[in-house]
């Protein structure tokens, strides 16, 4: 398995998704997904990204554009979940478990959750075969998945969340990747659930093979350039410190400058990954802007504390030309800051 580069001291990565190429959307097939994944890896490496992602192209569902398949991809295959969602189910979901960006649940929990046909190994192996080097594989957090479901079995949100964590944890061993990232875009707006979210996510993180980098990505949501979740990083520092992760992947470019203060309270054993590319706007950052954002963070937390640079979130809502130029700017800004 390929190893993550050890130099330079600040590495660049992407968060996960990439805009679906028009030719893949027009004629989707297994071979087309393989070809497109190869293209996405190559584009990132040509931009100079140190740890690319596979683009998550195999997850995209035109019927669920609000979350780019990061929910349904995991939920649909699981045993114990029904995708039959009629009027009564939709009404019940809106009454008891409202979510601002979803009007109906991703599914109804009708029995004990299980693997079903979920097979992350197959998709990770597909990516590994065309990655051309070390890459990162992503998985949605149990807490975020639980928030999208209507529970008719467990009768307890904590039990449902932990059951999802157990199903996902069983998928982690043996994944042929240099880094596994758990994605969570819901807890920033629900800090009271932090202990539950941390416990369920740690189930997944603890199941990752030794020697594989563990990352956790947090953002405040994105739909058409809109922030979905309210809140701030200061309210989440205890939660972040409770995670069994090697590094964090934090949205910061689209956040107020005051959020940088919270970074000083993150445990030194957890490396910082900072968002320096704003994916909610089409503006292409200049290398000077990227370098300035790095400098602002290191001024707060001391030089050497930042290990990773990345966009705030995935690129899937942007045009490919915008995403590609933002990646180029990310690397050039890092190189400018480090004097490379």
How crowded is residue 333: how many other Cβ atoms within 10 Å of its Cβ?
24
Residue range 51-64: average pLDDT?
85
Reported as a single tens digit per residue, the pLDDT across 185-209 is: 878 777 889 999 999 999 999 999 9
In the β-sheet with 306-311, what is the strand arrangement from edge to edge?
11-12, 306-311, 271-277, 247-250, 213-218, 179-184, 136-140
- Using CA atoms, how far apart are residues 186 and 145, in angstroms rounded to an integer? 9
pLDDT of residue 70: 81
**Entry pTM:** 0.93
Close Cβ partners of 112 (under 8 Å, ≥ 6 residues apart): 79, 80, 153, 163
- Which of the pair, 17 or 225, is modelled with greater confidence? 17
Phi, psi of 73 (to 5 degrees): -55, -35
- Using CA atoms, how far apart are residues 275 and 253, in angstroms rounded to an integer? 5
- 288 has a pLDDT exceeding 60: yes
DSSP structure string for 79-99: EEEE----HHHHHHHHHHS-B
CB burial readout 263-299, b (16+ within 10 A) else e = beebeeebbbbbbbbbbbeeeebebebbbebbeebbe
- The DSSP secondary-structure symbol of 55 reads B
Residue range 89-101: average pLDDT?
76
Whether 187 contacts 242, CB under 8 Å: no
Half-sphere exposure of 284 (CA within 13 A, CB side): 14
- 221 has a pLDDT exceeding 70: no
- 231 has a pLDDT exceeding 70: no
Mean pLDDT of all residues belonging to the chain: 90
Checking DSSP bridges between strand 11-12 and strand 306-311, what pairing results, if any? parallel
Whether 270 contacts 313, CB under 8 Å: no
Handedness of CA 80, 84, 85, 86 (dihedral sign): negative
Reported as a single tens digit per residue, the pLDDT across 130-174 is: 999 999 999 999 999 999 999 999 999 999 999 999 999 999 999
In order of their start, the domains of the chain are 11-67+121-338 (3.20.20.210)
Angle at 252 between CA 305 and CA 4, to 5 degrees: 50
Checking DSSP bridges between strand 247-250 and strand 306-311, what pairing results, if any? unpaired
Report percent pLDDT > 70 for the chain. 91
Helices (H), the chain: 22-26, 30-47, 72-75, 87-96, 120-130, 142-147, 157-169, 194-206, 237-241, 287-301, 320-338
Reported as a single tens digit per residue, the pLDDT across 101-121 is: 677 888 999 999 999 999 999
- 38 has a pLDDT exceeding 90: yes
Q: Which of 134, 133, 159 shows the shortest CA–CA distance to 146?
A: 159
Residue 278 in tokens: 């704003």
- Using CA atoms, how far apart are residues 191 and 86, in angstroms rounded to an integer? 31
pLDDT of residue 257: 72
Label residue 234 by pLDDT band (50, 70, 90): confident
Q: Which of 55, 80, 82, 83 shows the shortest CA–CA distance to 70?
A: 55
pLDDT of residue 287: 97
Report percent pLDDT > 90 for the chain. 71
- Using CA atoms, how far apart are residues 2 and 211, in angstroms rounded to an integer? 11
């Amino acid at each position: 398995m390929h190893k993550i580069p050890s130099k330079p001291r600040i590495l660049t990565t992407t968060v996960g998704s990439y805009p679906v190429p028009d030719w893949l959307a027009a004629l989707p097939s297994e071979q087309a997904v393989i070809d497109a994944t190869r293209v996405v890896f190559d584009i990132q490496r040509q931009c100079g990204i140190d740890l690319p992602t596979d683009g998550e192209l195999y997850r995209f569902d035109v019927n669920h554009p609000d979350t780019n398949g990061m929910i349904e991809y995991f939920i649909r295959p699981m045993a114990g979940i029904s995708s039959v969602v009629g009027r009564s189910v939709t009404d019940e979901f809106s009454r008891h478990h409202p979510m601002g960006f979803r009007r109906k649940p991703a599914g109804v929990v009708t029995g004990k959750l299980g693997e079903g046909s979920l097979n992350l190994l197959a998709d990770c192996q597909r990516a590994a075969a065309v990655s051309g080097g070390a890459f990162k594989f992503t998985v949605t957090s149990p807490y975020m998945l639980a928030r999208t479901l209507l529970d008719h079995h467990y009768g307890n949100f904590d039990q449902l969340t932990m059951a999802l964590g157990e199903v996902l944890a069983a998928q982690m061993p043996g994944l042929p990747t240099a880094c596994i990232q758990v994605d969570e875009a819901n807890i920033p707006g629900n800090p009271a659930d932090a202990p539950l979210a941390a416990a369920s996510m740690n189930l997944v993180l603890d199941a990752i093979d030794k020697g594989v980098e563990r990352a956790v990505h947090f953002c405040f949501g994105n739909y058409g350039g809109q922030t979905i979740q309210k809140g701030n990083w200061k309210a989440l520092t205890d939660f972040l410190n409770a995670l069994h992760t090697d590094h964090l992947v934090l949205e910061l470019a689209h956040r107020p400058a005051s959020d940088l203060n919270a970074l000083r309270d993150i445990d030194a054993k957890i490396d910082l990954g900072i968002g320096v590319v704003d994916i909610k706007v089409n503006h292409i950052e200049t290398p000077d802007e990227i370098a300035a954002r790095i400098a602002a963070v290191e001024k707060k937390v001391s030089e050497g504390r930042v290990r990773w640079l990345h966009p705030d979130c995935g690129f899937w809502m942007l045009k490919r030309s915008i995403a590609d130029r933002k990646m180029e700017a990310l690397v050039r800004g890092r190189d400018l800051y480090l004097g490379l």
